[in-house]
Chain A
Amino acid sequence: MVFNSPTLEYSLLAPILIILAGALIGVLIEAFVGKTRRPIVQLAVALTSLVLALIQVIRIRDLSSTTAAMGSVVIDGPGLLFQGAILIIAIISIFLIADQDNFTSSAAALPGSEEERQATQSGTVLTEIYPLTLFAVAGMLLFPISSDLITLFVALEVLSLPLYLMAGLSRHRRLASQEAALKYFLLGAFSSAFFLFGAAYLYGYAGTVSFAGIHAAVVGGTGNDIILLLGMAFVAIGLLFKVGAVPFHAWSPDVYQGAPTPITGFMAAATKVAAFGAMLRIFYTVLGEAQWQWRPFFLVIAIITMIFGSLVAISQRDVKRMLAYSSIAHAGFLLTGVIALNKAGLEASIYYLFAYGVATVGAFGIVTLVRDSSGEVSDLNRWAGLGKRSPWVASAFAFFLLAFAGIPLTSGFIGKFAIFSAAYESGATSVVIVGVLSSAIAAFFYIRVIVLMFFTDATEDGTSVVIPSILTRLTIIISLAITVALGVFPAPLLDFIKPLAIFIR
């Protein structure tokens, strides 16, 4: 048997490699750098590798439309755009993650134990979070450019495993946090199993795991359609789980609530970009010709996701759970972009993902600021009167909410307009009408929070806004600036996306 050594295009893979290198250096820092200097060194390494990776993504944008690593990954315009979006979101969130108040000092200590108390008193800070973040980012970068089912699965696991861990690291309410992590892990494992099951069927159908091969088999139409259907369905379930579409959403409110808030923001934003990136690639390029089989299924999923997310969000009393359901509704809006199945739909989805991701990180950044003596206050009732005490923080949060609601002159409006018009263009009128109606429902609960912050008098219970650290402030200001800019002058980004938004197989 002869083995050929694989050829690897290092410059094309460099963004992922840089991040992985950064992560490994991070692990070494944990071992060799003193406790006191660790946080700053780790932050510097993480930030440097993210920025370098972003620069490399920008540099290789002209080399796109090629496959790399023996056809395992494909470097094309949309792939690079997804990578760029993930890296920018990661850079914004790393500042938030660097605000160490949010993480437990010693993840291994039992909650409430003597060990935990000692760790907290000694002022130890948890710096493993940086390499974990970088590993997750590496998986996310690989996910939307994978070009065969095996790579896709590896990327899925690489991005998920660190997130399972990170969800359990909250400093306050540690039990809830650990419960969230366990839930996320178990359900995530289930969905991975579904995904693998589907991948096996697709392999059985096409006789190959490569996307090009599966596409050829779908076009040829020689295989067994039932096997194709099963494969598509199970792979779709695995991906829909990751984006939190109904009925595969059950994990997300608990995990959003339990996880440390910076991680929630990062996870909500970046995972969505990666998972929708992969989903768009698979359903646009590989299974595009089988649209008659999957589009009706997605149509139903999108409709129930939008309605369910918007309706259930109304009854939430906890800001993080509310944002979780809002993110479910947004997953529904994004699914209309998948359903559109045209170039406008792809462009709109990329724009929407970026705009939504940035606003999400910013909104969760603000959630970290509202605290009382025992930590973050996510109970909405206690947000009453925030507008009076800290007008700037409340105004910023209100602005993010208006962006989620899709009020004009925010990025969310342009995204919604683009994605709905793409879906309408493809003939999916029903989904557009439901989308518009559920936007109206969604507006209700966003506005309720604004009413609470500005028009309700505060209860005297010591909820206060901490003075944001420079890093948190940076996160919020950058996300705010991007959200405003994309709302008022979306043209540059739209023009930038347009020529790049072409998938290759």
Chain B
Amino acid sequence: MTALLPLIGAVLLATLPKSAELRAKQFAFGTTLVTAASAIAMAVQFQRDNTDLQFVEVRSWIPSFGINYAVGIDGIALVLILMSVILAPIVILAGWNEAQGGRWSVKTFYILILVLETMMIGVFSATDVFLFYVIFEAMLVPVYFLIGGYGTGERSAAAVKFLLYSLFGGLLMLASIIALYVMSGDQGGHTFDLAKLANLEMSSTTQNFLFLGFFIAFAIKAPLWPFHTWLPDAAQSATPGTSVLLLGVLDKVGTFGMIRYCLTLFPEASKTFTPVIIVLAVISIIYGAILAIGQKDLKRLIAFTSISHFGFITMGIFAMTSQSQSGATLYMFNHGFSTAALFIVGGWMIARRGSSTISDFGGLQRVTPVMAWCFFLAGMSSLALPGLSSFVSEFLVLVGTYTRYPVAAIIATVGIILAALYILIPVQRALHGPTTPGNENLPDLNLREKVAIAPVLAAIIALGFYPAPLLNVINPAAMHVNSQLGFTDPVPTVEGK
């Protein structure tokens, strides 16, 4: 039901006249707030020790193919839905004026955002593989128009690149889905029910191929090296708000899909491919970090840091220990907030300066202290400073991975050192040092901007000190995933005993 709220809002919004820009914004903001409230109300009712899917709803959709509108959430999905619905109003408030200068009206921008929010909730809660695929593909369309219509620079090329990469991955997944569907027909009736498909019997060769169909689609989405090349372009061209939704939420669909679909549907193949995937993840961590260091453009920099972060998440998922699994989900949540903070504050800096080149900034600490502190805090969260939320998740992922793949964990730790470089260099160049000519009169954050960024920073700090509420929800679900795979945590051995 929560999923439908933004859609209803979008339809109502469509009826507003084009000229009522302010009304459209207020209305969209209100809708996302109501949605967030309703999702939080749902989260309160969530029974956290129950590993079954909750809030299950099943309706027949296309009975002749055995397709249902079936939704339900576990702890992992709940956390991601919460993240999406909380980020949506923040994005709207933070980027109050970013729809101006687009190809179409301001109203269209907010309609697209609201439609996208509906799909984000839907994609995390779908338990019917077909429904998931439909939303997975359909959500490309609003993002495509958001980047191509409201972005900057080479926006249409970036939008097309994004769309083609994603479509290609999606079609590979479609081939796998068709195979699953046909096999389910041979084994007791056509179905797309996730739980039933998980029990299909198939040869290991088939399983491997089908796994790859799903995994490549998700690896493109989440961007894992070498499928990442669309992301920096898209992030550079999109508006900051769109980037937050793209990197913060949409790309999580990839890592979420790895947990929900790759691991559940193809446990054997997942184990077969784990070494390869861990290697790719480690490459992503290092490669993303090194390229981030070399970036001159602020938005591209954030995009490359995300590639590094997604490497951590993927590594945590496929290390398949309870710590790494919980850590990966917590990482997804925290990455959503820290990227949001970076993009939002970065977006304000870029909008004020009229340039996104890092060297154009300088001395912002003196001119605009509040904004500079916000950016600093966001950056610290990105490099996982202890006391901030991402530290907890990064630590969990590394510890969890170490117990099974010590070498990978050690190499990944290098990524943390590189992270210090890629964050501290821009912080130093942009915030400190002499004031670059032209920056003297930049205004500091206004009240709206302060209100928008406050909850994000508050969450980053609060969850850094006290992550228990989230971990309590995530842990049972993560344990459940691993136990379905038949994995137990390796017992730590002590030398000499």
Interface residues of A (CB under 8 A from B): 347, 387-388, 391, 402, 407-409, 413-414, 417-418, 420-421, 424-425, 432-433, 436-437, 439-440, 443-444, 447-448, 451, 454-456, 490-491, 494-495, 498
**Count of B interface residues, CB-CB < 8 Å:** 35
C-alpha spacing A455/B148, complex, angstroms? 7
Is B182 in contact with A424, judged by CB distance below 8 angstroms?
yes
Using CB atoms, name the residue of chain B closest to A425: B182
Is A433 in contact with B175, judged by CB distance below 8 angstroms?
yes
Q: Which of B60, B134, B174 has the most CB of A within 10 A?
A: B174
Is B160 in contact with A451, judged by CB distance below 8 angstroms?
yes
Contact of A424 among B149, B156, B167, B178 (CB under 8 A): B178
C-alpha spacing A424/B175, complex, angstroms? 9
Contact of B160 among A407, A408, A447, A498 (CB under 8 A): A447
Interface positions of B from 6 to 37, Cβ below 8 Å from A: none
Is B174 in contact with A424, judged by CB distance below 8 angstroms?
no
| Listed stretches B61-69, B257-265, B394-402, B487-495; interface member | B61-69
Per-position 1/0 for B126-162, Cβ under 8 A of A: 0000000111011011000100110000011001100
Is A456 in contact with B65, judged by CB distance below 8 angstroms?
no
Known: A414-B62, A491-B61, A495-B63. 6 other contacts (CB 8 A): A408-B135, A413-B134, A424-B178, A447-B164, A451-B148, A498-B64
Contact of B178 among A409, A417, A455 (CB under 8 A): A417
A490 and B104 in contact (CB under 8 A), knowing A455-B148, A455-B149?
no
Q: Which of B135, B140, B181 has the most CB of A within 10 A?
A: B181
Is B182 in contact with A421, judged by CB distance below 8 angstroms?
yes
Is B64 in contact with A495, judged by CB distance below 8 angstroms?
yes
A443 and B167 in contact (CB under 8 A), knowing A408-B137, A494-B62?
yes
Residues of B within 8 A of A347 (CB): 64
Is A421 in contact with B164, judged by CB distance below 8 angstroms?
no
Is A409 in contact with B138, judged by CB distance below 8 angstroms?
yes
Q: Which of A421, A433, A498 has the most CB of B within 10 A?
A: A421
C-alpha spacing A130/B382, complex, angstroms? 69
6 chain-A/chain-B pairs, Cβ below 8 angstroms: A417-B174, A447-B160, A448-B160, A456-B156, A491-B63, A494-B64
CB of B168 within 8 Å of the partner chain? yes
Is B64 in contact with A440, judged by CB distance below 8 angstroms?
no
A418 and B65 in contact (CB under 8 A), knowing A408-B133, A409-B134, A455-B103?
yes
CB of B433 within 8 Å of the partner chain? no
Residues of B within 8 A of A498 (CB): 64
Residues of A within 8 A of B155 (CB): 455
Is A408 in contact with B134, judged by CB distance below 8 angstroms?
yes
CB of B303 within 8 Å of the partner chain? no
Q: Which of B61, B135, B145, B182 has the most CB of A within 10 A?
A: B182
Is B62 in contact with A440, judged by CB distance below 8 angstroms?
no
Nearest CB of chain A from residue B220's CB, rounded to whole Å: 12
Nearest CB of chain B from residue A457's CB, rounded to whole Å: 9
Residues of A within 8 A of B185 (CB): 425
Residues of A within 8 A of B179 (CB): 424
Residues of A within 8 A of B138 (CB): 407-409
Contact of A447 among B61, B63, B163, B181 (CB under 8 A): B163
Is B145 in contact with A436, judged by CB distance below 8 angstroms?
no
Using CB atoms, name the residue of chain A closest to B168: A440
Is A455 in contact with B62, judged by CB distance below 8 angstroms?
no
Is A454 in contact with B171, judged by CB distance below 8 angstroms?
no
Is B178 in contact with A388, judged by CB distance below 8 angstroms?
no
Interface residues of B (CB under 8 A from A): 60-65, 103-104, 133-135, 137-138, 140-141, 145, 148-149, 155-156, 159-160, 163-164, 167-168, 171-172, 174-175, 178-179, 181-182, 185
Using CB atoms, name the residue of chain B closest to A347: B64
Is A436 in contact with B174, judged by CB distance below 8 angstroms?
yes
Nearest CB of chain B from residue A176's CB, rounded to whole Å: 32
Contact of A436 among B141, B149, B172 (CB under 8 A): B172
Residues of A within 8 A of B148 (CB): 451, 454-455
Using CB atoms, name the residue of chain A closest to B137: A408
Using CB atoms, name the residue of chain B closest to A433: B175
Using CB atoms, name the residue of chain B closest to A457: B103
Using CB atoms, name the residue of chain A closest to B147: A455
Using CB atoms, name the residue of chain B closest to A429: B179
Is A402 in contact with B141, judged by CB distance below 8 angstroms?
yes
Closest 5 CB pairs of A and B: A455-B156, A408-B134, A494-B64, A408-B137, A421-B178
Is B164 in contact with A443, judged by CB distance below 8 angstroms?
yes
A455 and B159 in contact (CB under 8 A), knowing A424-B178, A432-B175, A437-B171?
yes
C-alpha spacing A22/B50, complex, angstroms? 68
Is A421 in contact with B181, judged by CB distance below 8 angstroms?
yes
Using CB atoms, name the residue of chain A closest to B136: A408
Residues of B within 8 A of A391 (CB): 104
Using CB atoms, name the residue of chain A closest to B174: A436
Contact of A490 among B60, B62, B168, B171 (CB under 8 A): B62
Nearest CB of chain A from residue B80's CB, rounded to whole Å: 21
C-alpha spacing A428/B343, complex, angstroms? 48
Nearest CB of chain B from residue A468's CB, rounded to whole Å: 21
Is B62 in contact with A407, judged by CB distance below 8 angstroms?
no
C-alpha spacing A439/B178, complex, angstroms? 15
Nearest CB of chain A from residue B142's CB, rounded to whole Å: 12
C-alpha spacing A414/B103, complex, angstroms? 32
A454 and B103 in contact (CB under 8 A), knowing A407-B141, A424-B178, A436-B174?
yes
Nearest CB of chain B from residue A454's CB, rounded to whole Å: 7
C-alpha spacing A298/B387, complex, angstroms? 65
Residues of B within 8 A of A424 (CB): 178-179, 182
Nearest CB of chain A from residue B358's CB, rounded to whole Å: 28
Residues of A within 8 A of B60 (CB): 491
Q: Which of A402, A408, A421 has the most CB of B within 10 A?
A: A408
Nearest CB of chain A from residue B426's CB, rounded to whole Å: 31
Using CB atoms, name the residue of chain B closest to A441: B168
Using CB atoms, name the residue of chain B closest to A388: B103
Is B171 in contact with A436, judged by CB distance below 8 angstroms?
yes
Is A439 in contact with B137, judged by CB distance below 8 angstroms?
no
C-alpha spacing A402/B182, complex, angstroms? 26
Residues of A within 8 A of B140 (CB): 407
Residues of A within 8 A of B65 (CB): 417-418, 421, 494
Using CB atoms, name the residue of chain B closest to A435: B175
Using CB atoms, name the residue of chain A closest to B151: A455
C-alpha spacing A491/B185, complex, angstroms? 18
Residues of B within 8 A of A417 (CB): 65, 174, 178
C-alpha spacing A387/B104, complex, angstroms? 9
Using CB atoms, name the residue of chain A closest to B181: A421
Q: Which of A417, A432, A494 has the most CB of B within 10 A?
A: A417
Residues of A within 8 A of B167 (CB): 440, 443
Nearest CB of chain A from residue B109's CB, rounded to whole Å: 14
Residues of A within 8 A of B168 (CB): 440
Using CB atoms, name the residue of chain B closest to A416: B174
C-alpha spacing A155/B65, complex, angstroms? 35
Residues of A within 8 A of B103 (CB): 387-388, 454-455
Using CB atoms, name the residue of chain B closest to A409: B138
C-alpha spacing A407/B174, complex, angstroms? 11
Residues of B within 8 A of A387 (CB): 103-104
Contact of B164 among A388, A407, A444, A491 (CB under 8 A): A444
Nearest CB of chain B from residue A452's CB, rounded to whole Å: 9
Using CB atoms, name the residue of chain B closest to A351: B64
Is A491 in contact with B137, judged by CB distance below 8 angstroms?
no
Nearest CB of chain A from residue B101's CB, rounded to whole Å: 14
Residues of B within 8 A of A456 (CB): 156
C-alpha spacing A420/B171, complex, angstroms? 12
Is A407 in contact with B137, judged by CB distance below 8 angstroms?
yes
Nearest CB of chain B from residue A311's CB, rounded to whole Å: 15
Nearest CB of chain B from residue A187's CB, rounded to whole Å: 34
Is A439 in contact with B160, judged by CB distance below 8 angstroms?
no
Residues of B within 8 A of A440 (CB): 164, 167-168, 171
Residues of B within 8 A of A421 (CB): 65, 178, 181-182
Contact of A454 among B149, B163, B178, B181 (CB under 8 A): B149
A491 and B62 in contact (CB under 8 A), knowing A408-B137, A447-B160, A447-B164?
yes
C-alpha spacing A421/B67, complex, angstroms? 14
